[in-house]
Copies of this chain bind each other. A is one copy, B any other.
Amino acid sequence: MTTLRTPGPTLGVVGGGQLGRMLAEAASPLGVEVVVLDPTPDCPAAPVARDQIVADFDDEAGIRELAARADVLTFEIELADQDVLERISEDTGTPVHPKPSTLRTIHDKLVQKRELEDAGVPVPPFREVEDADDIRAAIDDYGAPVMLKARTGGYDGRGNVPVESKAEADEALESVAGPAMVESFVDFEREVSVIAVKGDDEVATFPLGENVHVDEILRETIVPARSSDAAAERAYDVARDVLEVMDGRGVYGIELFETPDEEILLNEIAPRPHNSGHWTIEGAANSQFEQHARAVLGWPLGSTDLRSPTVLTNLLGDVDEEQRAELGDIDRLLETPGANLHWYGKRQVRPLRKMGHVTVSAEDEDADVEDLLETARKLEDAVTFRN
Contacts and interface: CB of A to CB of B under 8 A. Distances in A.
Contacts of A24: 28, 48
Contact of A305 (B34, B50, B337): B337
Contacts of A356: 4, 31
A286 B281 CA distance: 12
A300 B335 contact: yes
Interface string A252-289: 00000000000000000000000000000100011000
Interface size class of A (residues with CB under 8 A): 35 or more
Contacts of A361: 285, 307
Interface string A310-326: 00000000000000111
A300 B343 contact: no
A28 B47 CA distance: 8
A28 B48 contact: yes
B342 A29 contact: yes
A303 B337 contact: yes
3 pairs of A and B residues whose beta carbons are closest in the complex: A31-B343, A303-B337, A4-B327
Interface stretch (A5-13, A118-126, A223-231): A5-13
Contacts of A330: 1-4
Given A1-B329, A1-B331, A346 B29 contact: no
A331 B2 contact: yes
Secondary structure call for the A interface = loop
Interface in A333-387: 334-338, 340-347, 356, 361, 363-365, 386
Contact of A300 (B28, B48, B286, B334): B334
Given A28-B25, A340-B286, A326 B47 contact: no
Given A25-B29, A29-B25, A285-B337, A343 B303 contact: no
Interface string A7-37: 1100000000000011011001111011000
10 contacts: A1-B329, A2-B334, A4-B326, A6-B343, A7-B347, A8-B345, A24-B28, A30-B341, A34-B47, A364-B365
A305 B6 CA distance: 34
A80 to B, nearest CB: 23
Contacts of A326: 3-5
Given A337-B303, A337-B305, A345-B8, A328 B285 contact: no
A29 B334 contact: no
A38 to B, nearest CB: 15
Nearest to A338: B285
A281 B335 CA distance: 18
Contact of A302 (B324, B335, B364): B335
Given A1-B328, A1-B330, A307-B307, 11 more contacts: A2-B329, A2-B334, A4-B325, A22-B29, A24-B28, A24-B48, A294-B334, A302-B334, A303-B336, A305-B337, A305-B363
A201 to B, nearest CB: 13
A21 B307 CA distance: 25
Contacts of A112: none
B308 A5 contact: no
Contacts of A5: 324-327
